[in-house]
A and B are shown apart, each in its own frame.
Chain A
């Protein structure tokens, strides 16, 4: 029997997560005792929790050292630290953007922000998971919270339907993932990712049938979570059906968690099977880039359009992953961070234009925006140009790094295909710009009173697209530093 003294809990490494869990419980308790009129306390507490998590995360990290906690199930390496800091910062920005919308729509604030924090906690658990079991449980925590956020807009039939679809499909994907994990466990007799790696190395090709068999199911489950073709069906429906705050969280911060999750799984544990999963990912990437860009052309709902655009962008990320090189993976990290910054600004504008009960979601709603709200129109212009990959903006550099990693690894045809598809994609991004700048407005679009801080953050966010686009070096170096440290 294992003795308590030989256990390596090392709770200090996991202090930020423990702090978040305690704060969630505290907020839930507090919510039961405060009046409806004082519910804005919840917003402030959520932001304070995230700031506290950020500060604690900075304190617990020891550079160039991999710290483990809970018997090695929890790992804090460079990748985890960097991505967790990004998640904290971006989720603070999300709260600032959605604050006014939630006040206007009279969502139940206490519950909304508690579930929101649960989702963030699930992401952090996924990011630093070092065990197949923890990867799975973290994923469940995260998906269940997102489904809850979608369903919380319960008076809307569309939201309920989207939540139902998301719930059933995500349960199915979890089952598939778990089935794959059981095969990996059966072949290696290990759950720890590093031990799985060592066991596959030691087996030296023995039992590869069982490993590949499990890998197929694991890749299918992972691909579902990232929303790649052919497991993309839920993405447009959930983006469209969910209320804007829930879509904002699903479309931005959760992509980081999903990408780190897939890196941990495939690059961390199953890298010796990279020949097999690179082929699977390349098929998935081809299909996603193709379908995402083609189908997005015919969309009239901007949330749905952003959903298809997310499929296409995740396809680019799959292209980066299939190179299985340090350059490719750091390009993937750069891509996902820059994509999240861009999408955040886009959703921020939509949220700022949703005043009262109105939800700004039709592309026509944006017509004449350049005259009524030139600043918002300008930010949206930067977002669309960046998503399309037009040079001085960050989206261009992100695509560029992925393509150069592809060419370096010898995938010339894939690179050419990706460029052609990105060109097709430019059409629907530019159409949004055309609607904003050249179409006449029918109704005056009123901006919500989001407050000075939120508006300031939105402008800075828009400016960052240009700034990082011009000077991508620092973020790029940071991403490759995260991987190598």
Chain B
């Protein structure tokens, strides 16, 4: 009973915040509602006993991706009125299309209702009572090693494309770090010892310096008066 109540509570919050993501006027609010949606989705996952996925959703999406998003949204100067200019003009067509698609979906699902065959029992799926992250890790590196490898290739590709699109080798003003030279440096290359006298008379051989010193002393005398 408690789980059912909790499920509907989280479900309502999830759908409501997802709706606010696309209707909020301020993009920062949108991002914050998206964070709320992620957190409630993670709560729903916790109720399904998938702790690892629930926590990684919070760690990765809320902790890393959304914070980055928030930074970008706050840094950019977005003129919302400009983006929304075509909104009202296209709204009737969009509503019409949405209603047609929804009607089609409902017709299919009403005429041939979905039958849920065999509920997944957590106890059956996990006979040895192993921890969630152990199970996920085991599957990732055995049965699903191929998709994991492929996903790593996609990440590498994304990295290469991102660098290739932003790197400007021709920019003369760019400052490059020569790490090898920095590491190979020694104290002799950095510090030059000069012999200097501390006596003020010897420095003041120069006429200009004498005048400066005279000015300073007279100014000191003046202020004392």
Contacts and interface: CB of A to CB of B under 8 A. Distances in A.
A169 to B, nearest CB: 16
Given A7-B143, A121-B153, A213-B109, A148 B161 contact: yes
A21 to B, nearest CB: 6
Nearest to B157: A118
B108 A213 contact: yes
A108 B164 contact: yes
Interface in A1-18: 1-2, 4, 7, 9
A181 interface: no
Interface stretch (A58-66, A138-146, A282-290, A363-371): A138-146
A152 interface: yes
A481 to B, nearest CB: 28
Contacts of B175: none
Given A2-B142, A207-B115, A141 B157 contact: yes
B124 interface: no
B154 A140 contact: yes
A111 B114 contact: no
Interface in A343-390: none
Secondary structure call for the B interface:
helix
A144 B112 contact: no
Nearest to A203: B117
Contacts of B105: 213
B165 A151 contact: yes
A134 B150 contact: yes
Interface stretch (A67-75, A307-315, A443-451): A67-75
Contact of B151 (A137, A145, A148, A212): A137
Given A28-B160, A140-B154, A144-B154, A209 B113 contact: yes
B146 A134 contact: yes
A209 B108 contact: yes
A212 B113 CA distance: 11
Contacts of A73: 146-147
B130 interface: yes
B132 interface: no
A148 B157 CA distance: 9
Contact of B158 (A28, A108, A144, A152): A144
- Size class of the contact patch on chain A: 35 or more
Interface in B105-159: 105, 108-109, 111-115, 117-118, 128, 130, 135, 138-139, 142-147, 150-151, 153-154, 156-158
Contacts of A125: 150
Contact of B160 (A1, A74, A114, A134): A114
A208 interface: yes
A137 B154 contact: yes
A207 B114 contact: yes
A70 B161 contact: no
Nearest to A71: B143
Contact of A115 (B114, B128, B161): B161
A283 B69 CA distance: 41
A164 B164 CA distance: 16
A111 B162 CA distance: 11
Nearest to A145: B157
Contacts of A131: 147
Contacts of B143: 2, 7, 71
B115 A70 contact: no
Interface string A174-216: 0000000000000101000000000000000011111011001
B145 A70 contact: yes
A137 B108 contact: no
A213 B113 CA distance: 11
Contacts of B157: 115, 118, 141, 144-145, 148
* Chain A CB within 10 Å, residue with most, of B112, B130, B146: B146
A139 to B, nearest CB: 10
Contacts of B163: 111
B164 A141 contact: no
Contact of A154 (B114, B117, B142, B165): B165
A137 B147 contact: yes
Interface string B64-95: 00000000000000000000000000000000
Given A151-B165, A210-B114, A141 B147 contact: no
Given A206-B115, A208-B112, A212-B112, A148 B142 contact: no
Nearest to B128: A1
A141 B161 contact: no
A416 to B, nearest CB: 30
A151 B115 contact: no
A395 to B, nearest CB: 34
B1 to A, nearest CB: 26
A133 interface: yes
Contact of B164 (A115, A140, A144, A210): A115
B164 A133 contact: no
Contacts of B142: 2, 4, 7
Contacts of B158: 144
B136 to A, nearest CB: 12
A2 to B, nearest CB: 6
Contacts of B113: 209
A187 B114 CA distance: 8
Contacts of A141: 150, 153-154, 157
Nearest to A205: B112
A115 B154 CA distance: 11
A210 B111 CA distance: 11
Contacts of B114: 187, 207, 209-210
A209 B161 contact: no
A118 B157 CA distance: 7
12 contacts: A2-B142, A71-B143, A111-B164, A115-B160, A144-B158, A145-B161, A151-B165, A207-B112, A207-B114, A209-B111, A209-B113, A210-B114
Interface of A: 1-2, 4, 7, 9, 21, 25, 28, 69-71, 73-74, 108, 111, 114-115, 118, 121, 125, 131, 133-134, 137-138, 140-141, 144-145, 147-148, 151-152, 154, 187, 189, 206-210, 212-213, 216
Given A111-B163, A140-B154, A148-B160, 4 more contacts: A111-B164, A134-B146, A137-B147, A216-B108
Closest CB pairs A-B (n = 9): A209-B112, A70-B146, A148-B161, A111-B164, A137-B150, A118-B157, A210-B114, A73-B146, A141-B154
